Chains A and B, each alone.
Chain A
């Protein structure tokens, strides 16, 4: 009882005996006020048109849009035009079916093969990365690590891992293992580990600790207790995050080709350098369809897991 009374005194409230007093809403923390003020100041300073600013003027935006290249605007906004649509569909149809097209979409072609390789990279990286992530996610949580040192080391390594963008990982692995799909797989494996370990280990803190106490009470070793009492509890979240990482990998795999790490990006980079933007447009379109289809499948599986 004396403990409760002293807590009240610290908050500067007096409570008459026998009556309940609703606490006043606490004033916002100085940190919150400073933080909000800082955000506003930063936005103004960077947006203003001066030495350190980027000179972003929202009022000029409609004018700038109107000044755009008319041909591109026409290309972008003519989706409603039946002729334009027919023309684009014809373009796709020709290159899917015509073996003499300059950039055919068959599986052994630059674009078709690139698409297949992109999916292969994403699938393999997700499988390898997710498999490595489950034990690492357990070690990355306070509750799951056998001791503080292991926890600190795993957490620090994964923080470094997540700080490195996947394109940089890809460039690094291209240097280490050469051009091709392998550096792409390795880069996205690192990315998968970063995402899945972080998200899954956050779930560990919220689990029911009772079964772990029961396993300890039965004389189980730490590893056995984690495997039997903790892992079953985080498995649904882990599976869901792994599929989410797969969706991210599929998109991430597109840009890896620009640094030589295989996949559709390599084809895109090639046609870009040839200034063949029609081919780039076809790649973007086909890839968009692929990503949407695969994501919908992945999302429906994830919903079933939840």
Chain B
């Protein structure tokens, strides 16, 4: 369970990225967070693993509550929360397998990560994660040589190698074309359904949000403005979240002409 209580984030310079957010997420939910860029989606997601510290309020993940964790406890929390990024954040010069093994770093003794001599069991977990997103045949290819969709699948495998209980995805398909976007979204949905991993995905395409989410959360100027089942999130709701009428840019299918 993840719970936000009066969560606020104010960046140096005065920008209030989150304002008084109260939110409860149950285990196994698939939640899509929508909002315009700058609405606080990335901040909300990064508050969960402490990449962005709250300036007031609290967020509880399982039995750990932020802020107030020491460095060790924070790393334990992060190990339990996998993360997927818009720009994949892979080491392009390293092999796919070595990238996925980064998901094991918390569980690996320092001398092993420094020398690159990972245990067989860690390599096995990494290979299994790659099999789940059906890209295991690329294990020894340099990550930078893969297509965008393949790189994002490696990103998912890296998060899965952590054996997380929560998965965070920050605009996972924003750098991908529409068909590839659906492939990546289906993997995320399948992982949520089959492994029961609580999943939060930031998106700005309303059709993708409606197609894959159980529950939609809307953010506007750092405030929670919508929280409800995906089925009820119609166009009127999105216009309310975005604070303007919808355009072709707001749906993935509208991007085909690009």
Contacts and interface: CB of A to CB of B under 8 A. Distances in A.
Contacts of B93: 232-233, 235-236
A235 B77 CA distance: 31
A216 interface: yes
B153 to A, nearest CB: 15
Contact of B103 (A218, A223, A225): A218
Interface stretch (B105-113, B215-223, B225-233, B247-255): B105-113
- In which size bucket is the chain A interface? 20 to 34
A217 B87 CA distance: 15
Contacts of B101: 228
Interface string B113-152: 1100000000000000000000000000000000000000
Interface string B62-103: 000000000000011111111101011111111000100111
A219 B78 contact: yes
Nearest to B81: A217
Contacts of B91: 211, 228-229, 232-233
A158 B206 CA distance: 54
Count chain A CB atoms within 10 A of each CB in B51, B93, B162 and give the residue with the most: B93
Given A223-B110, A224-B113, A233-B91, A214 B105 contact: no
A220 interface: yes
Interface of B: 49, 51, 75-83, 85, 87-94, 98, 101-103, 105-106, 108, 110, 113-114, 155, 158-159, 162
Given A208-B89, A208-B92, A228-B94, 9 more contacts: A210-B89, A211-B89, A211-B90, A218-B78, A219-B162, A221-B110, A224-B110, A227-B114, A228-B105
Contacts of B49: 217
Interface string A228-259: 11001101100000000000000000000000
- For the complex of A and B, 4 pairs with smallest distance between CB atoms: A219-B79, A210-B89, A219-B106, A220-B105
A232 B114 contact: no
B89 A218 contact: no
Given A227-B113, A228-B98, A217 B51 contact: yes
29 contacts: A210-B85, A210-B90, A211-B89, A213-B51, A213-B85, A214-B155, A215-B105, A217-B81, A217-B83, A218-B83, A218-B103, A218-B106, A218-B158, A219-B75, A219-B76, A219-B77, A219-B79, A220-B75, A224-B110, A227-B114, A228-B91, A228-B94, A228-B101, A228-B105, A229-B91, A232-B91, A232-B93, A233-B93, A236-B93
A229 B103 CA distance: 12
Interface string A31-51: 000000000000000000000
A225 B71 CA distance: 14
Contact of A218 (B79, B88, B90): B79
Count chain B CB atoms within 10 A of each CB in A217, A229, A233, A235 and give the residue with the most: A217
Contacts of A217: 49, 51, 78, 81-83
A123 B102 CA distance: 34
A216 B78 CA distance: 8
B45 to A, nearest CB: 10
Contact of A214 (B81, B85, B114): B85
A219 B51 contact: no
Count chain B CB atoms within 10 A of each CB in A208, A219, A221, A233 and give the residue with the most: A219
A213 B89 contact: yes
Nearest to B91: A211
Interface string A162-184: 00000000000000000000000
